[in-house]
Structure 1
Amino acid sequence: MSNSTAAAVLTTTDLPEAIRAVRTLLGLADIGHGEVDFEAVIRSPDVLEQVRHVLQDLEWWASAGKEHGSSKAGDNPADCLPIRVFDWGRPLDRAEPFIAALGPDPAAVRWDLDAWPAVPEAGLEEISQKYAYLTLTVNSRDLYQDEPSRDHTVHVHVPNRDGDQISRVHWLAEQVGGRFTGRVESAPL
């Protein structure tokens, strides 16, 4: 197992602004075989209903403090709130409907890209699929929903091993009108 560095390149209270930034970054990336992954903490029946409309066969289990409840056991998630959602490998077109369904609940939406392409004019080589990810945290500042907030953060992922990858983070931040503040998290891949 390896890790990437997830660098925050834009934090905003304006969710449409964060989504526009994600769209811009997806337009720069190679997404031919891309997928999207979801992690969330769902607390309310209304949000649960909206999320289940987007992802009918939702993968979930009861949050900490609950000893039972999961999609694998066939339980009713409404009886187990709050629940944690870990749903992987969905088509890219599920991301924005999922985000719209969240309301105030925290989540991380991660796009698994084919590559961050080379940018010769910036001196950047291609980053392969193994390290090419983009994450939007919604109502949370961190990748794991441990730091709930009223804002949303766009993170770009680069390999841990290359110190020169910070140049790519700065370049990607510039493309969306953000800036790299030095806030990073290690993200298991």
Structure 2
Amino acid sequence: MSNSAGAAVLTTTDLPAAIRAVRTLLGIADIAQGEVDFEAVIRSPTVLTRVRHVLPDLRWWASAGQEHGSSEAGDDPAGCLPIRVFDWGRPLDRAEPFISALGSDPAAVRWDLDAWPAVPEAGLEEISQKYAYLTLTVNSRDLYQDEPSQDHTVHVHVRNRNGDQFPRVHWLADQVGGRFTGRVEIAPL
């Protein structure tokens, strides 16, 4: 098992600005075979209805534990709120509708990229798919929805190897008008 370093490059209360930053970064990345993963805590029946419209076969379990309800058991999520969503390997076009459905519930949307390309003029080599990810945390400051907030953070993931990839983090932050502050979370892959 490997880990990536999820480095925060932009935090804002302006969700459309965070989405624009994600679009810019996706424009830089190789996404030909990309997928998107969702993790969320859904507390509201209204949000649940909107999310299920985007992902009708949503994968989830009750926050109290799977024995209290899950999609695997065929339970009704509305009767098990709050629920935790762990839904992986979706098409890229599901990301923005999912984000729009969230309201104030916290989530992490992670784009699994094919690569961060080489940037010769910045001295950056290509980073393969194994370490190329982009995460937008919505209504949360961290990758795991443990720090709910009213802002949103864009994280870029690179290989966690003695900090030698942080020049790429700085370069990516510059592309979206952000700034790498040194805040990094380890994300198991």
TM-score (structure 2 length as normaliser): 0.98
Map 1:62-73 onto structure 2 (within 5 A): 62-64=62-64, 67-73=67-73
1:15 aligned partner:
15
RMSD: 0.9
1:61 aligned partner:
61
- Give the total of aligned pairs: 189
**Distance apart, 1:5 and its partner CA:** 0.2
TM-score (structure 1 length as normaliser): 0.98
Q: Distance in 2 between matches of 1:181 and 1:58?
A: 35
Percent sequence identity is 87
Q: Match of 1:51, as an amino acid?
A: V
1:182 aligned partner:
182
What stretches of structure 1 move > 2 A for 4+ residues in a row? 64-67
Q: Which runs of 5+ in 2 are unaligned?
A: none
1:75 aligned partner:
75
What SS does structure 2 have at the residue aligned with 1:47?
helix
Q: Distance in 2 between matches of 1:86 and 1:96?
A: 17
Q: Match of 1:88, as an amino acid?
A: W
**Distance apart, 1:98 and its partner CA:** 0.1
Residues 1:113 and 2:113 aligned together: yes
Q: Distance in 1 between matches of 2:52 and 2:65?
A: 23
2:44 aligned partner:
44
Q: Match of 1:94, as an amino acid?
A: R
Q: Distance in 1 between matches of 2:100 and 2:44?
A: 15
Q: Which runs of 5+ in 1 are unaligned?
A: none
Q: Is the deviation greater in 108-117 or in 65-74?
A: 65-74
Residues 1:127 and 2:127 aligned together: yes
1:102 aligned partner:
102
